[in-house]
Amino acid sequence: MLIRNISVLQGSELDFVLRTNVKIQNNVFQKIQSKIQTNSNEESVDCEGLLLIPGFINAHTHIGDSIGKDVTLNSSVDEKIHPVFGAKSKILKNTSQENLSNFMKNTCHSMLRKGITTFVDFREGGLDGVILLKKVLSNIPIRSIILGRLEFYQKSTEIKKNLPLPKEKTEDLNQLLKECDGIGVSGANENSTSILEYYSKTPKLRAIHSSETIQSISASKKVTGKSETIRALSLKPHFLVHMTFASKSDLTISAKKTRGIVICPRANSSLAEGIPDIELMQKAGCTLALGTDNVMINSPDMFREMDFLWKATMGIHKKRIDPKEILKMSTVNGGKVLNKDIGVIENGKIADCIFLDKHALDLEPMHNPHASIVHRASESAIKAVMIGGKIVYGKI
């Protein structure tokens, strides 16, 4: 396919190119330049008036709780989402597989329409939960990365004793990893260091929630005498999630030992826990990606995530932030954290992208494309979504 006369946010710095041509072949961007020869057998589309941007990477979700939207609004964090006794856990256990499937499908279609081409799901429910999500995704063209978990959580007394993973659970873990892309651990406060170190030897993608609340940080120090983040790093995670209340020293060591941090500002705010300090994180050298977290408490919308993070951060710190940096968190940085050839429009990268209407009512005139996308664009400005070189939503 040859896409002609289109504006593009190109490369890892999302450089704005007013007019160029983009050739897509074998699911990747093969050539991006102003003059490209065409042949009679090649599909060619004139995209005058459109802006091509990388597909959004929603780097942290829990779509299994899509059925529980806005329940327990006035409850504490643990009362809402604790993996053992929270309302979410009860909902997942007491809802039929059919109902869970239907609402997860709805969420996937919602994400596609909002330009999310890849999502990373921390899937609850052990092996059965992973298989259910894979079944849901079997006829939905969105790109997914499923991080499963064992439904096994330790008490503080067991963590103090540093008890290992029971032998009967090691085979469960092996079976789980055969079906998913890696493990998404609930947190260090539900696992002994021995178990985290055992998980660290697994060959696939590893990630863990860490330092999301002041209470979780205090619990780690009380039980083990160690920082929650330092304990989480025992997993040797490829990335951490949240880090909303991580210390400067924790952030510095995390920058050295992981690919980055996935932050979820709207979810943190929905839980009345504040928002991550992205300036402190960036100064520590952390690569930041964005996620929307639990559908139960937040909508899977990267436009709204970027808008909220940009304005709330400037409002709190009273300092200007380049909107391009926020947009990179939803695209380029997601690819970096996942170590995949996505999130960037450049030669050789997978052709996941969004076609935006530059003449949309809320966008025209577009004097600053990065700002327009971050705080003015919405689902209504999307003309089409492409994944792997194929249009999966809309048309051009």
Per-residue pLDDT of 185-216, as tens digits, reads 999 999 999 999 999 999 999 999 999 999 99
> Phi and psi for 368 in degrees, rounded to 5?
-130, 100
Cβ(151)–Cβ(125) below 8 Å:
yes
Q: What is the pLDDT of residue 80?
A: 66
Percent of the chain whose pLDDT exceeds 90 = 89
Indicate the range of 34-43, 124-133, 297-306 predicted with least confidence. 34-43
Closest CA to 343 of 356, 329, 357: 329
Q: For the chain, how are helix, strand and coil distributed in percent, rounded to 5?
A: 40, 25, 35
Q: What is the pLDDT of residue 38?
A: 76
- Give the chain's domains with CATH numbers: 2-55+344-394 (2.30.40.10), 56-338 (3.20.20.140)
Give the chain's length.
396
Q: What is the pLDDT of residue 202?
A: 98
- With H, G, I as helix, E, B as strand and everything else as coil, classify residue 80: helix
Tens-digit pLDDT profile for residues 166-185: 999 999 999 999 999 999 99
| Residue 68 predicted with pLDDT over 90 | no
Mean pLDDT of the chain: 95
Closest CA to 104 of 270, 385, 295: 295
Q: What is the pTM of this model?
A: 0.95
- With H, G, I as helix, E, B as strand and everything else as coil, classify residue 326: helix
Tens-digit pLDDT profile for residues 227-276: 999 999 999 999 999 999 999 999 999 999 999 999 999 999 999 999 99
